[in-house]
Amino acid sequence: MFGTIIRVESHAKAMKTASKDQEIIAAALALNAPFVGRLRSRTLVSSRWFALIGQFITVLVVHFGFGFELPLMACLLAIGANSALNLVITIGIAPQRLVRQWEAAAQLTIDTLQLAFLLFLTGGIQNPFCLLLIAPATIAASILRPLWTLSILAITIVCVAFLAVYSYPLPWRPAGSFSVPLLYQVSAAFGIIVGLLFTAGYAWRVSVEESRLADALIATQEVLAREQRLAALGGLAAAAAHELGTPLATIQVTAKEMLRSLPQASPDLEDAQLILTQAQRCREILRNLTDHRHEPDLVTDMVPLGQLLEEVTQRHPDLGHKALLFDIEGPEGKNELLVRRSPSILYGMGNMFENAIHYANQAVTVAASWNQQHVKVTIMDDGPGFDEAILDRLGEPYVTTNLAAGSVAPHREGMGLGFFIAKTLLERSGATISFWNHEGAKKGAVVEIHWPYSAIAAKSFA
């Protein structure tokens, strides 16, 4: 069994708060310009054609099929005007182009007003198709920014209120025989408005969550891509060391032969000595590259678990006055575990270790254990611990990292986007992550990372 390994490090430097990863995340999230929407022109155009065809068929069936008297020309003109607008959009805007926010808002506003005008001609709030007024506002809530959505909601509410009081009579036989009390019409309008607000609010909430998750996943891919590029550089360095070793050895041997064959008074003696010295220097550089080839994040690398944890902590060397403790234990009589080494594991555990160092008071403990079923790594600090209010939400994107202000004993509010990225990368490696706080006299936060043995273990070795 491997006993406890303790290392205490002290540095004068304060921990750096800005990192290259934060710059990458900011650049990734800045790719989406604020004025560009998430909906293509073709989607709005095709949906509008579907609605207009439905309106046209409905008007004809009601007027000619059921024999109800409608202001037919006015209804067809309203449908024709919106059809002409849709045709202009179809011709003038490329179907694959993302519609800008103001363009989508303008089109949905026109759709709302056109539908309200049709309802005004055909009975107002008494018309059962009045529920369709909810559709444009719901679409706006799911694709537009709050300001544009609120403007469309306001227009829709005004239209519903107007239709509750003013409209042509509902087509019926005999004409004008169907009448609904004003109180009922107002109540129906109120119900539509409540349904409108609920549906739009629900659509907006779902859209915000989806958008945040999508942005966070983009940032995750950017960070992982950077780690993989660093890994590729390590592979190239090792390959260069291997390929250049043979020609450098040839140059070195040739330079030695030149030194032996040249007389002491020869003017070329100094040049031969320089060639030999520089060849030896090059071989020394290549030897250093070969000795440090474990530093790159090659997915196919296999290292002892203890060495993997050492490398994770060495990426964040500025501990200040805080101690770093290792506790690595394996099964009795078994060899040390050899594990797969990947950028996702290194980055994920490194992010959690960095947060532990940031919030620790005196020490951070990195513990590891394994058996034939699972491998477990635990990162513990003696800081204030996780805020109980958000403990169940850890791992969600955009949970802030600030300490709760105004508290006698400040707690950690969350790990933000960086923690989400770390958790996502570790879960992709097959890990399960859980968090809790120490109870009783021993305070601090605990992050436990658990892998199935087959997900991370390469083999055991002597």
Reported as a single tens digit per residue, the pLDDT across 344-385 is: 788 888 888 888 888 888 888 899 988 888 899 999 988 888
Q: How confident is the model at residue 2 (pLDDT cuts 50, 70, 90)?
A: very low
For residue 333, what pLDDT is reported?
Answer: 66
For residue 157, what pLDDT is reported?
Answer: 95
Average pLDDT, the chain: 78
Q: How confident is the model at residue 113 (pLDDT cuts 50, 70, 90)?
A: very high
Please state whether the peptide bond connecting residue 331 to the residue before it is cis, i.e. omega within 30 degrees of 0: no
Angle between helices 416-428 and 20-29 (to 10 degrees): 90
- The rounded distance, in Å, linking the Cα atoms of 114 and 14 is 63
List the chain domain ranges: 38-221, 232-291, 299-460
The one-letter code for the residue type at 226 is: R
- The rounded distance, in Å, linking the Cα atoms of 334 and 2 is 9
> DSSP of 141-192, one letter per residue?
HHHS-HHHHHHHHHHHHHHHHHHHH--PPPP-SSTT-----HHHHHHHHHHH
Which are the contacts of 274, defined by CB distance < 8 A and separation ≥ 6? none
Reported as a single tens digit per residue, the pLDDT across 390-439 is: 777 777 765 654 544 344 344 444 445 677 778 877 887 888 888 888 87
Weakest mean pLDDT among 48-52, 195-199, 375-379, 390-394: 390-394
For residue 298, what pLDDT is reported?
Answer: 44
Q: Burial-class residue 121 by CB neighbours within 10 Å (0-12, 13-18, 19+).
A: buried
Weakest mean pLDDT among 26-35, 182-191, 379-388: 26-35
β-strands 323-329, 363-370 pairing: parallel
**pTM for this entry:** 0.52
Residue 392 DSSP label: G
Q: Under a CB-based contact definition with an 8 Å cutoff, are residues 132 and 115 in contact?
A: yes
- The rounded distance, in Å, linking the Cα atoms of 383 and 377 is 19
The one-letter code for the residue type at 436 is: W
Residue 329 token pair: 């234990």
Q: How confident is the model at residue 112 (pLDDT cuts 50, 70, 90)?
A: very high
- Sequence length of the chain is 462
Q: How confident is the model at residue 68 (pLDDT cuts 50, 70, 90)?
A: confident
Strand partners, 363: 323
- Taking residues 276-282, report their average pLDDT: 82
Q: Is the pLDDT assigned to residue 303 strictly greater than 70?
A: yes
Residue 102 token pair: 């103001």
Angle between helices 182-261 and 146-165 (to 10 degrees): 170
Q: Is the pLDDT assigned to residue 264 strictly greater than 90?
A: no
For residue 295, what pLDDT is reported?
Answer: 46
Q: How confident is the model at residue 241 (pLDDT cuts 50, 70, 90)?
A: low
Between residues 29 and 169, the one the model is more confident about: 169
The CATH architecture one would assign to domain 299-460 is: 2-Layer Sandwich (3.30)
Q: Under a CB-based contact definition with an 8 Å cutoff, are residues 97 and 47 in contact?
A: no
Q: Which of 51-55, 172-176, 274-278, 427-431 is predicted most confidently?
A: 51-55
- The rounded distance, in Å, linking the Cα atoms of 306 and 359 is 24
Q: Burial-class residue 116 by CB neighbours within 10 Å (0-12, 13-18, 19+).
A: buried
Closest to 48 measured CA to CA, from 7, 8, 99: 99
Q: Is the pLDDT assigned to residue 145 strictly greater than 50?
A: yes
Locus of tokens 């020609």: 247
DSSP percent split of the chain into helix, strand, coil, nearest 5: 60, 15, 30
Q: Under a CB-based contact definition with an 8 Å cutoff, are residues 299 and 333 in contact?
A: no
Locus of tokens 């030896």: 280
- The rounded distance, in Å, linking the Cα atoms of 111 and 108 is 5
Q: Is the pLDDT assigned to residue 124 strictly greater than 50?
A: yes
Between residues 12 and 247, the one the model is more confident about: 247
